[in-house]
């Protein structure tokens, strides 16, 4: 398995030239890096005008590894080759390094870059990426991987300290300014030298073999790194190390790398509509920074949020009066760590009455609104206290808890709420204080605890009777001034006292079922199934040319191809496809085909956008300016990998192709037609389609176009 690392952008508030002077002092050896024993210059090149300086070094490292492992490997030192390409004209330094020792067993590539800060030319930015691929190592692959990651992360932490150490050294020597490179004076016969200067500038990124001194390793070294050049992106696409520390907390280098890589993946697949960094970090923490697991759960959560419009719940949904009167919970100041404090008097709450009066779904929606409010309060407290606050504290008072609270439908509703919150709000609970737990509590705990994540359970503190008033009790976590009055404190708590819900407010099972259905079908998004040989199509009639068709869809399962067609005549009314080829009826009528099988492309209808292949988990937004009136068909089609005619299919592939689930995809989509005079922003914006993650998205301004980039029909 290939291990990858991507650093955040680290900013030095010093000019590029001064940073370069400090950096060069690391060679030939650096006492601040004990493992860095020595280095020898292998090749060196300097352009005639002095703007380009390329130097290759062979570095000798003493890896901190068990003596037995070194003896088995037969080496005492490990050698790396490093190529530094300095372009003083552009003020950039590119560093590429790869291992020379055991290069047939272990492949290590590193790429670093020093550049000028895009907003302040007197500051310098540093970025770093690396990859580790262990093919084989005498049966000690896992051990070598751990040693390599440990050594690498320790050196990453020291990187900025070392530069700052040499900056102080320069300052002590009276060097606080290094002049920028300036081109030499131009002579009358300077045409040739100018041409050479342009050629030399091109060497900053990739130096040709001829530009280097003759040496046995020149050709090999020029291509040895294999590390891709960094993709040019806007500063908004990158995370600054100082920002991470201020708003997200202290992360290890590998944790920073996981955050950045998952964030980059979301930017590529969700086209700029990505959750805030705090929310991405919560999913990573909940999955112990396993990127694949965090990505899977986050995509499921984002789809769920979009489908049920959870992002707008605080603005568009008003809790019923019954909840406002009888739900004994509310926000109450903050704890000693600055976390928002939520107080829930569960023992005083009539859970049976609330379920009978409102239904399970209304209670769930109310709990979701509480969680959304909690996210908002965490952001506010982060600004107020000047440190990262990403979770809240919940204080649950169980006085009054009895067998009535163990009513089966009520417990079922509680378990459903726990399940939804655990899946979509990970790592938001910082601490749970359970006070005055009665004898019946162990019964409730036995029912509930299996559904609670292990990491969450560790945050529970349970106090029986008046134990919370003693040492290690409430005063350790909440200031005396904000302890609620019903717990013996002096602070008036405005949380409703709960009480029994009048039976006159109870509703029948049919009424509750209809209400529950209404709550969770109020969505602008529609779901559709796409089968092999049975695409899903929707019809849009355009009366005025130059109208704008916009779309926003998520690929929930499988890979699909998205097409847009135009026809002058209307297709037949949509019919449910019987999927005769597979003898399967599309469930729920959510698969519609409009294009008649006898229609011919180019005669009866035409393609107005290039086909777009969309992978599972991607979120696609785009728009199309119509050139002609008529009928436009948006099509989601099953994407099949092209078969290779030269090779016979494997038995496993044939068996897999016979399984119906492998031939089914699922999409969730929303479309809207907007008059050209009303369409605002770039052709990839969807301001009026309400598809953004309003509560979770950072205020990103995506400069990259959607893959389904909008083009005027030709």
Instruction: Please provide the DSSP assignment of 390-401 as one string.
Output: --EEEEEE-TT-
Residues in contact with 670: Cβ distance below 8 Å, sequence separation at least 6, in sequence order: 524, 525, 526, 551, 552, 553, 689, 691
For residue range 630-662, what is the model confidence (pLDDT) as tens digits?
999 999 999 876 554 444 444 444 444 444 345
Q: Which CATH architecture is the domain 311-504 placed in?
A: 3-Layer(aba) Sandwich (3.40)
| Class of domain 2-173 (CATH, top level) | alpha beta
pLDDT at 34: 85
DSSP-derived 3-state class of residue 34: coil
* Contact (CB, 8 A) for 396 and 461: no
Q: Is the four-CA dihedral 504, 505, 509, 515 of positive or negative sign? A: positive
CB 558 within 8 A of CB 530: yes
Residue 110, pLDDT score: 93
Write down the pLDDT at residue 562: 93
Domain with CATH 3.40.525.10 in the chain: 311-504
Tokens 């697991």, located at residue: 293
pLDDT value of residue 706: 34
Beta-strand pair 429-437/392-397: parallel
Distance CA 493, CA 482 (A): 9
Tokens in use for 487? 């717990």
Start and end residues for every CATH 3.30.530.20 domain found in the chain: 2-173
Report pLDDT for 654. Answer: 44
Range list for CATH 1.10.8.20 in the chain: 241-308
529 close to 665: Cβ distance less than 8 angstroms: yes
CB 667 within 8 A of CB 536: yes
Predicted confidence at residue 24, as pLDDT, reads: 93
pLDDT of residue 21: 95
DSSP-derived secondary structure letter, 499: B
- The ranges of the chain annotated as CATH 2.60.120.680 are 525-572+590-640+663-685
- Write down the pLDDT at residue 679: 58
The tokens describing 529, both together, are 């199934």
Q: How far apart are CA 38 and CA 55, in angstroms?
A: 15
Classify domain 241-308 by CATH number. 1.10.8.20
Q: How many percent of the chain have pLDDT more than 90?
A: 38
- With a cut of 50, which residues of the chain have pLDDT below it? 188-235, 576-589, 644-661, 680-714
The CATH code of the domain at 525-572+590-640+663-685 is: 2.60.120.680
Distance of alpha carbon 33 from alpha carbon 36, whole angstroms? 5
What does the pLDDT look like over 575-601, one tens digit per residue?
A: 544 443 333 333 334 788 888 888 888
| DSSP H stretches of helix in 105-173 | 141-172
8 Å CB contact between 10 and 126: yes
Measured at the alpha carbon of residue 657, what is the angle toward residues 656 and 660, in degrees to the nearest 5? Answer: 95
For the record, the structure tokens of 450 come out as 């299996």
């Amino acid at each position: 398995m290939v291990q990858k690392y991507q650093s955040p952008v680290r900013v030095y508030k010093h000019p590029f030239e001064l940073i370069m002077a400090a950096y060069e002092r690391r060679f030939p050896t650096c006492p601040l890096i004990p493992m860095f024993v020595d280095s020898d210059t292998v090749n060196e090149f300097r352009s005639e005008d002095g703007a380009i300086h390329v130097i290759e070094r062979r570095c000798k490292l003493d890896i901190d590894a068990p003596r037995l492992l070194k003896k088995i490997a037969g080496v005492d030192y490990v050698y790396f080759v490093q190529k530094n390409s300095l372009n003083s004209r552009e003020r950039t330094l590119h560093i590429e390094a790869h291992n020379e020792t055991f290069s047939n067993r272990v492949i290590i590539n590193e790429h670093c870059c020093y550049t000028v800060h895009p907003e302040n030319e007197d500051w310098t930015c540093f970025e770093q990426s690396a990859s580790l691929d262990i093919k084989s190592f005498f049966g000690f692959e896992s051990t070598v991987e751990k040693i390599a990651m440990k050594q690498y992360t320790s050196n990453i932490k020291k990187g900025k300290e070392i530069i700052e150490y040499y900056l102080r050294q320069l300052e002590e020597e009276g060097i606080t300014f290094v002049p920028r490179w300036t081109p030499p004076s131009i002579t009358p016969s300077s045409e040739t030298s100018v041409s050479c200067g342009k050629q030399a500038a091109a060497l900053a990124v990739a130096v040709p073999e001829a530009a280097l001194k003759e040496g046995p390793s020149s050709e090999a070294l020029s291509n040895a790194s294999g590390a891709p050049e960094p993709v040019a992106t806007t500063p908004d696409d990158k995370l600054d190390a100082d920002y991470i520390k201020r708003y997200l907390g202290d992360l290890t280098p590998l944790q920073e790398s996981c955050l950045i890589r998952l964030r980059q993946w979301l930017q590529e697949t969700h086209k700029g509509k990505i959750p805030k960094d705090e929310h991405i970090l919560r999913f990573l923490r909940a999955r112990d920074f396993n990127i694949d697991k965090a990505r899977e759960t986050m995509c499921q959560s984002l789809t769920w949020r979009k489908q049920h419009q959870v992002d707008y719940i605080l603005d568009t949904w008003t809790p019923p009066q019954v909840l406002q009167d009888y739900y004994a919970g509310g926000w109450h100041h903050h704890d000693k760590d600055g976390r928002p404090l939520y107080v829930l008097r569960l023992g005083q709450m009539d859970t049976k009455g609330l379920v009978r009066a409102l239904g399970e779904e209304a209670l769930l929606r109310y709990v979701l609104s509480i969680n959304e409010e909690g996210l908002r309060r965490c952001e506010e407290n982060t600004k107020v206290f000047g440190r990262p606050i990403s979770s809240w504290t919940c204080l649950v008072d169980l006085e009054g808890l009895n067998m009535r609270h163990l009513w089966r439908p009520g417990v079922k509703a509680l378990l459903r709420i726990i399940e939804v919150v655990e899946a979509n709000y990970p790592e938001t609970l910082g601490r749970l204080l359970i006070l005055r737990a009665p004898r019946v509590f162990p019964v409730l705990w036995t029912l509930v605890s299996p559904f609670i994540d292990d990491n969450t359970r560790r945050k529970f503190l349970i106090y029986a009777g008046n134990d919370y008033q003693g040492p290690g009790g409430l005063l350790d976590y909440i200031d005396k001034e904000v302890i609620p009055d019903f717990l013996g404190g002096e602070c008036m708590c405005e949380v409703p006292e709960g009480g029994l819900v009048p039976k006159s407010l109870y509703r029948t099972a049919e009424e509750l079922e209809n209400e529950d259905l209404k709550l969770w079908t109020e969505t602008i998004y529609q779901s559709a199934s796409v089968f092999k040989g049975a695409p899903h199509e929707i019809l849009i009639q355009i009366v005025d040319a130059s109208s704008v068709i916009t779309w926003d869809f998520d690929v929930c399962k499988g890979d699909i191809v998205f097409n847009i067609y135009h026809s002058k005549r209307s297709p037949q009314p949509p019919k449910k496809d019987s999927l005769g080829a597979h003898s399967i009826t599309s469930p729920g009528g959510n698969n519609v085909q409009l294009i008649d099988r006898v229609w011919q492309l180019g005669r009866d209808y035409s393609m107005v956008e290039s086909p777009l292949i969309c992978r599972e988990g991607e979120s696609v937004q785009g728009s199309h300016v119509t050139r002609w009136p008529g009928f436009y068909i948006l099509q989601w089609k099953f994407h099949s990998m092209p078969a290779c005619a030269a090779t016979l299919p494997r038995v496993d592939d044939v068996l897999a192709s016979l399984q119906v689930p492998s031939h089914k995809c699922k999409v969730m989509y929303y479309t809207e037609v907007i008059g050209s005079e009303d369409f605002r922003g770039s052709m990839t914006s969807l301001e009026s389609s309400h598809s953004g993650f309003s509560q979770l998205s950072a205020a990103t301004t995506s400069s990259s176009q959607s893959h389904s980039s909008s083009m005027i029909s030709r």
